[in-house]
Amino acid sequence: MADKPAFKRVLVKLSGEVLMGEKSFGIDPDVCSSMAEELHQVHALGVQTSVVIGGGNIFRGIAPSARGMDRVAADHMGMLATVINAVALQDALEKRGTRTRVMSAIEMREIAEPFIRRRAMRHLEKGRLVIFAAGTGNPYFSTDTAAALRAMEIKADIILKGTRVAGIYSADPEKDPSAEFFERITYMEVLEKGLRVMDTTAISLCLDNSLPIIVFDVKQHGNMKRVVTGEKIGTRVE
């Protein structure tokens, strides 16, 4: 029973920084491989799995070039960075035998399929892991908002947000050891306390559509599978 999934369809939100490992920017192949293994284990349970990944690890390297740039142009660069991460993750997953599709909000047919909601749902139903790239395709929207939007479009049961810490705290636990850990919290509390879980647009979207979020430590090996099988790990926002 331990391997019986608690959810039928999930969306996993990963920050681009997760793929950096100890590097200052870019992709650490070992970390990318490890993340692919975590996703592979979840997918192997029969869970319909989708992923939204950020681009901070790539954009951090080009950020100095973007200083003083028009916000729209800089956001487009960030969107392209997420495509690089999506293709890297796809390669690592397919080496494990996981059938995947990358779907991009910006058309680039030689690299990824254009995002079409019904096609994305069909891929999931056919047992393919879908990676959503290029955010929403619009500037001024973060990949957190893209995750909330895509999760609702594909009718995901939950968003699993992987972070570097055990869940949601009253302050940054890496800077403040006395920070209070929340096992459960409401969307409104997140907004009122100004907790940096996801941006306010993403939290508001989840609130309006009653979409739960579980925030957990993605660096701990096997945690993603434990969350999917119903273990009480991390913080639940609902």
For the stretch 150-177, pLDDT in tens is 999 999 999 999 998 999 999 888 888 8
What confidence tier does 61 reach under pLDDT thresholds 50, 70, 90?
Answer: low
Rounded to whole angstroms, how far apart are CA atoms 215 and 80? 26
Can you give the pLDDT at residue 186? 96
Rounded to whole angstroms, how far apart are CA atoms 167 and 61? 27
Domain ranges of the chain: 9-237
For the stretch 91-110, pLDDT in tens is 999 999 999 999 999 999 99
Q: Which helix (H) or strand (E) holds 66?
A: helix 56-66
Mean pLDDT of 201-230: 96
What confidence tier does 64 reach under pLDDT thresholds 50, 70, 90?
Answer: low
Rounded to whole angstroms, how far apart are CA atoms 44 and 83? 24
For the stretch 66-82, pLDDT in tens is 678 888 988 999 999 99
pLDDT at 2 over 60: no
Architecture of domain 9-237: 3-Layer(aba) Sandwich (3.40)
Contact 100, 150 (CB under 8 A): no
Task: Kindly report the average pLDDT of the chain as a whole number.
Answer: 94
For the stretch 176-207, pLDDT in tens is 889 999 999 999 999 999 998 899 999 999 99
How, if at all, do strands 235-237 and 213-217 pair? antiparallel
What confidence tier does 40 reach under pLDDT thresholds 50, 70, 90?
Answer: very high
What confidence tier does 1 reach under pLDDT thresholds 50, 70, 90?
Answer: very low
Mean pLDDT of 22-38: 94
Contact 8, 48 (CB under 8 A): yes
Sign of the alpha-carbon dihedral angle for 105, 130, 58, 204: positive
Mean pLDDT of 55-64: 77
Contact 160, 228 (CB under 8 A): yes
For the stretch 113-152, pLDDT in tens is 999 999 999 999 999 999 999 999 999 999 999 999 999 9
Strands in 82-212 per DSSP E: 100-104, 113-114, 129-133, 158-163, 168-169, 181-182, 184-185
Sign of the alpha-carbon dihedral angle for 78, 195, 211, 217: positive
Place of tokens 């100004």: 194
Burial class (CB in 10 A: 0-12, 13-18, 19+), 30: exposed
